[in-house]
Amino acid sequence: MSPTGIPAADRLNRDCQCIGTDVDALRAQLEHELGARGLREPFVQTHPHLFSALPVFVAPAHAEAMQQIVAAVERVVATAAWREAVLADAPAIARVAQAARGVFMGYDFHIGANGPQLIEINSNAGGAFLNTAIASAQRACCVEVTQLLTRSGAGGDLDANLCAMFRNEWRLARGDAPLTRIAIVDTAPAAQYLYPEFLLAQQLFEREGIASVIADPAQLLLRDGRVECAGQVVDLIYNRLTDFYFEEPAHAHLAAAYRAGAAVFTPHPQAHALYANKHNLALLGDPDWLRAAGLNAATIDTLQRGVPRTLRVHASDAQSLWQERKHWFFKPAGGFGSRGAYRGDKLTRKVFAEILDADYVAQAIVPPSERHLAPDQPLKLDLRNYVYGGVVQLVAARLYQGQTTNFRTPGGGFAPVYHPPGLAPG
């Protein structure tokens, strides 16, 4: 607690503008590095609100609490009971065995009155490569501030760690065979908002001696038990598709390739089923189920404190959910990027009826904490933990206004996260 009586993290997020991202320099750096790779339009035109100039402060105790919640989730996912429960309702392709773990698991948190609250897990969380670029554009007003701050997840060479993650995915599936080519795959990739990140990933892979290509699924062929792109064999597919189970007709060949083990996919359908289906949050917050699954008291306690109450939406509960709607946030079970998500207090009867007819969960609302651009300019924030194999590699913030993160807020966007030693929880 600071001398003013305001928790230190909250005070810094409200008042401190001593350090931040040199957004202009970062845009210029990315345009210079990526121009030769196909980035044609200036960042300021195409991505005006992708990066925020201000960092976010998080108490070390809250950073540690997020890691503990991640570790508790990983212990649950490792149990046979969990796999049996979540894979039973998943599409058949999710039950295909896969040795790879899945890169860039995204654990998203709000910092609530009782500490970090896990609002969702994503199996192909975007933004990690962009957030590593942010590190090169930090500025501070004085040497003391520079020495004070320790960036979350910045220990060691983060680029090297990210590349090592992909190499490990390959090694888990293929042992000592050489990894020679990676395909970064998404629908019409050059039209995707995070296309610059694909270019950064390609740049990193090639710098590490791995050939890479950015491709639409239509450019991939399954031939003689192998995946090819432009006549070259693809060893590993960095999968950025949001068709998590390859259910669209245009992705049938990817489903066949995955089932046949023709390439290593990461992330993959099983990773989504095990971690990212929103139904899973209901089980993670159910102490009776966790006890029956054999989890210890410490793990259950961590999840009870760190996972907001989440319910599967059933038509039979319509009356109570409608009456208590201001306390709930409604999310599609297989959704991503906040699409189809609604705060209960914003619902109309018509939309609520559509939710009842679809596959949704209701999650207790945890108001996000704030970062102020100025005393009268608060922005909401969430914290994304990029996780691999249960280890937090990087923590980044997203600043926004409105119901959900949107990259349309002036002054908002991705922001680095700092947790100075001795900073008290907010």
pLDDT, one tens digit per residue, over 85-142 is 999 989 999 999 899 999 999 999 999 888 999 999 999 899 999 999 987 787 765 5
pLDDT value for 150: 46
> ω into residue 267 within 30 of 0, thus cis?
yes
Is residue 67 included in any domain, yes or no?
no
pLDDT value for 154: 44
3-state SS class at 247: coil
Rounded to the nearest 10 degrees, what angle do helices 195-207 and 158-174 cross at? 80
Is residue 240 included in any domain, yes or no?
yes
Q: What span, in angstroms and rounded, lies between the C-alpha atoms of 6 and 59?
A: 13
Cβ neighbours around 134 below 10 Å, total: 23
pLDDT value for 12: 86
Task: Give the single-character DSSP code of 276.
Answer: I
Domains contained in the chain, number: 1
Q: Supply φ then ψ for residue 372, to 5 degrees.
A: -95, 125
CATH of the domain at 176: 3.40.50.1760
Is residue 361 included in any domain, yes or no?
no
Is residue 214 included in any domain, yes or no?
yes
Q: Which residue intervals of 78-182 are DSSP H helices? A: 80-88, 128-134, 143-148, 158-174
- Asked if residue 21 has pLDDT above 90, the reply is no
Is residue 149 included in any domain, yes or no?
no
Q: Residue 214: which domain range?
A: 157-266
Q: Supply φ then ψ for residue 234, to 5 degrees.
A: -105, 125
Task: Give the single-character DSSP code of 25.
Answer: H
Q: Are 404 and 87 in contact (CB under 8 A)?
A: no
pLDDT value for 152: 43
Q: Say what the pTM is.
A: 0.92
> Residues 26, 30, 32, CA angle at the centre, nearest 5°?
115
Q: Are 207 and 182 in contact (CB under 8 A)?
A: no
pLDDT, one tens digit per residue, over 160-179 is 999 999 999 999 999 999 99
Q: What span, in angstroms and rounded, lies between the C-alpha atoms of 335 and 332?
A: 5
Is residue 322 included in any domain, yes or no?
no
pLDDT, one tens digit per residue, over 306-338 is 999 999 999 999 999 999 999 999 999 876 656
| Beta carbons within 8 Å of 64's beta carbon, 6+ residues apart | none
3-state SS class at 183: strand
Is residue 95 included in any domain, yes or no?
no
- Asked if residue 403 has pLDDT above 90, the reply is no
pLDDT value for 148: 53
Candidate from 184-188, 360-364, 370-374, 405-409 with smallest mean pLDDT = 405-409
Is residue 221 included in any domain, yes or no?
yes
Q: What span, in angstroms and rounded, lies between the C-alpha atoms of 198 and 205?
A: 11
